[in-house]
Amino acid sequence: MKATAWMGTDSVKVINVPDPTIMNARDAIVRITSTAICGSDLHLYHGYIPDMRKGDILGHEFMGEVVEVGPQVRNLKPGDRVVVPFPIACGRCNSCQRGLYSVCENSNPNAGIAEKIMGHSPAGIFGYSHLLGGYAGGQAEYARVPFADVGPIKVPDDVPDDQAVMLADVFPTAFMGAEMCDIKPGDVIAVWGAGPVGLLAAASARMLGAERVIVIDRYPYRLRLAREHAGAETINYEDSDVLDTLNAMTAGRGPDACIDAVGLEGHHGNAAMYAYDRAKQAVRLETERPFALRQAILACRSGGVVSVIGAYGGFVDKFPMGAFMNRSLIMRTGQCHVQRYTRPLLDRIQRGDIDPSFIISHRLPLKDAPKGYKIFQKKQDDCTKVVLKV
Amino acid sequence: MDEADEVLLPELDGPEPKPLLPRALGWLSLALGVGALAAPGRLAQLTGVDDSPLAPTVIPAVGARELVHAAGLIRGRRPAGWAWTRVAGDAMDLTLLGRAWGDRCGERRRRVALTTAVVGGIAVADLLAAVGAARSRRARERVIRMEIGVTVNRTPADAYRFWRDVENLPRFMSHLESVRAEDLRRSHWIARGPASRRIEWDAEIVDDRPNRSIAWRSLPGTRVPNAGRVRFVPAPGDRGTEVRVQLRYAPPAGALGRVVAKLFGEEPEQQVRDDLRRFKQVLETGEVVRSEGSPDGISVRQQVIQRPAQPLPPARR
Ligand SMILES: NC(=O)c1ccc[n+]([C@@H]2O[C@H](COP(=O)([O-])OP(=O)(O)OC[C@H]3O[C@@H](n4cnc5c(N)ncnc54)[C@H](O)[C@@H]3O)[C@@H](O)[C@H]2O)c1
Ligand SMILES: [Zn+2]
Ligand SMILES: [Zn+2]
């Protein structure tokens, strides 16, 4: 089959690999119809997530048709149309049973290494480094889906691929980011990053009853989507000082909760600050550029929530712990526990509460995956989200 | 955490064996020493060096040395050390004899040659004794012990039942090829070494408390004495079972030792931790979880030697 492989920093190729087969009794093989490129894939593309190997198949946002199931999979059969959550979760461990699927205790066969770096191991993730399992991803014609009796859900015919594939990651992630803000009537929510995750987080915050949502980014086309589709106000951080503007907008209180939907590759309007963290990251003195996170902490109202859904991989420098501690802030974070949200969010889509496909800017054939990575990386051609059609 | 007694291993926990060979050699030293001191002239004649002007001084000196060896070897403390001093003494004697042989002819030369052969034989025995004593001491020093736990989301009864059927052990202990239960207590274990070398041993269950703990040990005579105990403790907060494993083994030295070391990897604790993770996977999910990068599931070696995250070629399935 054809598959999108990581060939080194800033390099992906569509290559021929063997077709996947059942390796565990609870596996299913899915013939992929739609698969998306994520901001998380850009972290891999740029080489910031440790332990990638040349030839690794990328992709953790995919859906398609079941073509084969292992002997222990009873809920699915060949022909079913399914969307697959990106964290691989067994459904039987303590974490899974408490709904913490992205920290499943069994799905990372390389837990020993992850433990050395992170203390304890998170779940395995499709196409997301050997540190997180060494699983082949889904930017391909077929994928093997472990624990198919727990993760994938069937998609009704009236929900098109473009909507359903958003349930693999970005919509649940964004929704969880908003949910972690514990939104109460009158709350003002600020969101850093107007990528797919930030845009859907803003929309979710609205759905969950936020009074006002403010989205911060520097790309006018993305900020326009935030205004038009998420009912948000926007700040372009290249035009105005973010902290001052947020204080002005909230009469000095600061947002009640702040969502970091940027992650470890933040960009900074101030050239000197940007150069400082960029240089430290290049020589691995620091693995992240946490501009949005620092700013979110400083901006947040005292006693408020900082909800971190942007991805981090290692160590953060100059973390404003003083502000965090003295102002009684709360941080909530995590890779999304997608399995918890797929059904309720599918319901919301079917009810017409939201159409998450508004973020899709490009639909390309699988063979054009390298081009998709390039335009998404460079934010060319008003690119927000690339969905590969197989 | 509550303490549990170590399972005793006769090879490691009994009194340190006093090997027969060093003691026998001790008595030989005593006889030689007394002879050399009491009748140096007679000994010189017997060994064919009675014509040497040095013989009357060298022979009593050798005798005195032998008495010191005898005292050390017969007392039996640190037999290895004393055995090595005997080896050194033999080397000295052989050098002297070699020189004596070169200088002589006829009957004397024949006697020197005979003496050399006898001392040579004793030297070999001394060497064997020294090596053997050192090996037994090092085995005791090398004992590896560890205590590692994992929390499994199943009842103590489930976890106990799975472990108690010892034939299940290779399903999660990655270095085992098979375990065959011979009866309710005894079993035969085969471990898979590198380069398809196998290590086999017999073990017995020495303490069995249903749903609470199991203790086992290898039977005497195995080359890798080992023992273990696993306890199944209800985890607080209704989170299943804390499976706590204590292990102890004494890897041998030499080539076999290197095989054992490879078997357990560079980090024996990591290996056991991974085995317990596999145990947890099998109990909670039904089998060992595999990925394309780690197609054989969790293991230290596999985590380092990853293949790319791509489906396996048909040959490797
Ligand atoms: N927690 C999870 O489960 C999860 C799931 C999916 C994605 N993620 C992470 O979410 C993040 C966003 O993903 P995406 O697909 O939207 O990526 P994206 O790259 O499209 O979006 C990131 C946006 O952040 C903006 N940005 C950069 N620096 C900024 C700053 N200092 N202030 C404000 N905005 C800034 C960029 O201009 C860009 O528009 C990534 O880190 C991704 O890894 C996390
Ligand atoms: Zn994603
Ligand atoms: Zn789990």
What is the 8-class DSSP label of residue A289?
B
Query: Which listed CATH number (3.40.718.10, 3.40.50.1820, 3.30.530.20, 3.60.40.10) goes with B144-316?
Result: 3.30.530.20
Q: Which of B165, B138, B144, B249 lies closest to B201 in space, CA to CA?
A: B249
Q: What are the DSSP E strand ranges found in chain A?
A: 2-8, 11-16, 28-37, 56-57, 61-69, 81-84, 87-88, 124-125, 142-145, 153-154, 188-192, 212-217, 233-236, 257-260, 305-308, 330-333, 362-365, 386-389
pLDDT band at residue A154 under the 50/70/90 scheme: very high
Cβ of A274 closer than 6 Å to ligand 1, yes or no, is no
Contact of B218 with B9, CB cutoff 8 Å = yes
Q: What pLDDT shows up at residue B20?
A: 65
CA distance A138 to A65: 13
Interface test with B, best of A54, A88, A105, A129 (most B CBs within 10 A): A105
Q: What pLDDT shows up at residue B12?
A: 73
Instruction: State the CB neighbour count (10 A cutoff) for residue A91.
Output: 18
Report H helices in chain A: 39-45, 94-97, 111-118, 161-164, 170-179, 196-207, 220-230, 242-249, 271-282, 291-299, 321-326, 342-351, 369-378
Answer yes or no: do A110 and B291 touch at CB < 8 A: yes
Mean pLDDT of each 10-residue bin along chain B, 317 residues long: 66 67 78 84 82 83 83 74 77 82 82 82 79 68 88 98 96 92 95 80 96 95 89 96 93 72 71 93 97 87 82 87
Q: Which residue among A60, A180, A197, A379 has the greatest number of ligand 1 atoms within 8 angstroms of its CB, and so is best to mutate? A: A197
Q: CATH homologous superfamily for A2-169+337-389?
A: Medium-chain alcohol dehydrogenases, catalytic domain (3.90.180.10)
Residues with Cβ within 8 Å of residue A311, at least 6 apart in sequence: A39, A40, A43, A263, A264, A335
Say if residue A280's pLDDT is above 80.
no
CATH 3.90.180.10-classified regions of chain A:
2-169+337-389
More confidently predicted of A285 and A332? A332
ipTM above 0.90, yes or no: yes
Work out whether the CA dihedral B115, B117, B118, B122 comes out positive or negative: positive
- CA–centroid distance, B294 to ligand 3, in Å, is 18
Q: What pLDDT shows up at residue B2?
A: 47
- CA–centroid distance, A133 to ligand 2, in Å, is 16
Task: Tell me which residue in B291, B300, B312 faces A18 most closely, judged by beta carbons.
Answer: B312
Cβ of A59 closer than 6 Å to ligand 1, yes or no, is no
Chain A, 21-80: which have a CB under 8 Å from a chain B CB?
A: 21, 23-26, 51, 53-57, 72
Question: What residues of chain A lie within 8 A of the CB of B150, using their CB?
Answer: none
Residue found under tokens 């001392």: B119
Q: Which of B145, B56, B47, B51 lies closest to B98 in space, CA to CA?
A: B47
Q: Which of B90, B83, B87, B91 lies closest to B132 in space, CA to CA?
A: B83
Q: State the pTM of this model.
A: 0.84
Q: Which amino acid is at B115?
A: T
Question: What residues of chain B lie within 8 A of the CB of A51, using their CB?
Answer: 306
- Pick the ligand that lies closest to the CA of residue A190: 1
Instruction: State the CB neighbour count (10 A cutoff) for residue B199.
Output: 19
CA angle A269, A272, A277 (to 5 degrees): 90
CATH 3.40.50.720-classified regions of chain A:
171-333
Q: CATH homologous superfamily for A171-333?
A: NAD(P)-binding Rossmann-like Domain (3.40.50.720)
Q: Does B151 touch chain A (CB under 8 A)?
A: yes
Which atom from ligand 1 is nearest to the alpha carbon of A194?
A: 39
- CA–centroid distance, A195 to ligand 1, in Å, is 6
Answer yes or no: do A18 and B151 touch at CB < 8 A: no
Say if residue A83's pLDDT is above 80.
yes
CA distance B206 to B227: 10
